[in-house]
Copies of this chain bind each other. A is one copy, B any other.
Amino acid sequence: MSEIEANTAHPPRAAMLVIGDEILSGRTKDKNIGTLADFCTDLGIDLEEVRIVGDQKSAIVAALKALSAAYDIVFTSGGIGPTHDDITADAVASAFDRPLIHHPEAVRILRERAEARGWELNEARLRMARTPEGADLIANAVSGAPGFKIGNVYVMAGVPAVMEAMLAALAPTLPHAAKILSVTIEAGRGEGEIADWLSDLQDEHPEVRFGSYPYQDGTRFTTRIVIRSRDEEALKKAAEAVASRLQSG
């Protein structure tokens, strides 16, 4: 996606809603949050909040309404398959107060795929064509059944490969701003030793954000310092200041 130029000066503010009992029970370990976070960073979209709720319509509707009102863009993953517990389309229709229909183009896509594979286009498979009235489809190059967009909400599948395919289809259509650049510096020492001067540096370099990430290297705790900014020059100066501070002790 590096060839995509910024088309907006104001970084869009985004949220994600992950839908599925299997994530909350621990049976499935989510991979989509990390994927979407990387995707947003690449497009210069600020992902500011993520929520995970189960397959309960009231919980999905409440989260959708809150996030849709608070952010420019809301991405959802999960709950758009053919089974009784796939209720995301119902919840999105409720949240936007629209009737739920079988989207004609989605029905066509599902019928073509079913015919090509000798499948019956049964009631369950047709569920995957349901969208709120007025939704636009999101292509699914992996398994056919499309996602959809309505208002500022982008509804995608929960299977990681399918969500990734949908993001790839979406990328050129989304607003995107200058990418947030980052520099990572290995501090080679614990957070407790660098925190005081790092805080001072943050005050001296307000155009960048310093993050400090402790991790275990064997039995030893050490730290990565990450500096983030949309301003390349400011980032360079801040990185030099950190390097100089690390050298001096």
B212 x A83 contact (CB < 8 A): yes
Number of interface residues of A (CB under 8 A): 66
- CB neighbours (8 Å) of A54 from chain B are 48-49
0/1 interface trace, chain A 79-105, chain B, CB 8 Å (1 if under): 001111100000000000000000000
Q: Chain A: residues with CB nearer than 8 A to chain B?
A: 18, 21-30, 33-34, 37-41, 47-55, 59, 81-85, 119, 122-125, 127-128, 143, 159, 161, 180, 182, 184, 191-196, 198-199, 202, 209-216, 221, 226, 228
Q: Give 24 CB contacts A-B under 8 Å.
A: A22-B213, A24-B47, A26-B39, A26-B40, A26-B41, A27-B213, A29-B34, A30-B34, A48-B53, A49-B59, A50-B51, A50-B52, A81-B191, A81-B212, A83-B191, A83-B194, A84-B202, A122-B192, A122-B195, A123-B196, A124-B194, A124-B199, A159-B214, A159-B216
With A82-B195, A83-B212 known, 16 other A-B pairs at CB within 8 A are A21-B228, A22-B211, A23-B33, A24-B37, A24-B48, A26-B38, A29-B34, A48-B59, A49-B53, A51-B52, A81-B191, A83-B195, A84-B202, A85-B212, A124-B191, A125-B192
